[in-house]
């Protein structure tokens, strides 16, 4: 097996269980082993940089971060690369989220450095507090003046599933992804775009990469890298699509690090 020069990994459902608030010490130790072996580690998530940096605090200066589902890349607290969603388009998506979800939808608008919440008291604030993300409350999408918006997220406490087909025409050109049962992300990039930006910055070929994932929104990244790994808890279709299965990301990272020594 070719030893990858960089390992990308999904977060929720892969490095941590859904709704689990913390990264385990075992994961941090495995990341350190990769770093000591000269292999870059890069979490890839729909979360903000602020949230990811807090979660990975013990190793935050040793890893790259792909944030906002691939729209922003950070290294050592600095924005390394990003993409921006045109204002008319993200406003159109945000209004659709609010107007086409039977009064149940709440919206989060994010840029690489800030998050803006439209809170109707239906649970989005609690969900964001779990992620420990600072946000600014706004009454309507037009109140967001930030020029670097890269993602619009829909939160429905009861689940976004009933609205996906209804919203498909609005979101089809903007990488829609059901990030969790109650979240839907729409933005100017996917995780594959983030992988490309990191590899271009580091001069690493795509064939020299590996990635871990567990869900359909990880497929663009998994299809792009040289060595894709899927969690054995994934849907049967994904297990058939990717032959490398794993149950323990930390163990797989340690194995890769050991092979590089």
Token pair, residue 159, equals: 């689940």
DSSP state letter for 36 = H
User: What does the pLDDT look like over 95-134, one tens digit per residue?
Assistant: 999 999 999 999 999 999 999 999 999 999 998 877 677 8
User: What does the pLDDT look like over 132-175, one tens digit per residue?
Assistant: 778 999 999 999 999 999 999 999 999 999 999 999 999 999 99
The C-alpha atoms of residue 114 and residue 124 are separated, in whole angstroms, by 16
Question: Average pLDDT, stretch 239-252?
Answer: 96
Mean of all residue pLDDT scores within the chain? 94
- Nearest alpha-carbon partner for 195 in 185, 184, 186, 204: 204
260: confidence class by pLDDT, cuts 50, 70, 90:
very high
What domains are there in the chain, each with its CATH number? 6-82+190-260 (3.40.50.1000), 87-187 (3.30.1240.10)
The C-alpha atoms of residue 142 and residue 75 are separated, in whole angstroms, by 31
CA 152 to centroid of chain Cα atoms: 13
Q: What are phi and psi of 31, to 5 degrees?
A: -65, -40
23: confidence class by pLDDT, cuts 50, 70, 90:
very high
pTM of structure: 0.88
- Where are the strands (E) in the chain, listed by range? 6-10, 40-44, 64-67, 72-75, 78-82, 106-111, 114-118, 136-137, 151-155, 177-180, 183-187, 209-213, 227-231, 245-246
Question: Average pLDDT, stretch 190-196?
Answer: 96
Higher pLDDT, 46 or 171: 171
20: confidence class by pLDDT, cuts 50, 70, 90:
low
Q: In what order do the strands lie in the sheet with 64-67?
A: 78-82, 72-75, 64-67, 40-44, 6-10, 209-213, 227-231, 245-246
1: confidence class by pLDDT, cuts 50, 70, 90:
low
């Amino acid at each position: 097996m070719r030893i990858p020069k960089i390992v990308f990994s999904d977060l929720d459902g892969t490095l941590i269980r859904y709704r689990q608030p913390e990264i385990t010490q075992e994961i941090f130790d495995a990341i350190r082993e990769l770093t000591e072996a000269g292999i870059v580690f890069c979490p890839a998530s729909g979360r903000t940089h602020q949230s990811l940096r807090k979660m990975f605090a013990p190793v935050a200066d040793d890893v790259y971060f792909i944030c906002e589902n691939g729209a922003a890349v950070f290294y050592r607290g600095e924005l390394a690369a990003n993409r921006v969603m045109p204002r008319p388009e993200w406003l159109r998506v945000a209004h659709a989220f609010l107007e086409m979800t039977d009064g149940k939808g709440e919206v989060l608008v994010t840029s690489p450095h800030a998050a803006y919440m439209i809170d109707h008291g239906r649970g989005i604030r609690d969900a964001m507090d779990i992620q420990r993300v600072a946000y600014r409350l706004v009454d309507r999408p037009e109140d967001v003046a930030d020029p670097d918006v890269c993602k619009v997220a829909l939160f429905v406490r009861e689940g976004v599933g009933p609205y996906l087909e209804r919203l498909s025409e609005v979101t089809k050109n903007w990488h829609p992804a059901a990030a969790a049962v109650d979240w839907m992300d729409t933005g100017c990039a996917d995780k594959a775009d983030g992988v490309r930006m990191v590899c271009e910055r580091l001069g690493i070929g795509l064939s020299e990469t590996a990635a871990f994932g567990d869900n359909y929104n990880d497929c663009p990244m998994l299809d792009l890298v040289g060595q894709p790994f899927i969690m054995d808890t994934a849907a049967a279709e994904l297990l058939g699509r990717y032959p490398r299965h794993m149950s323990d990301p930390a163990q797989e990272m340690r194995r890769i690090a050991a092979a590089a020594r």
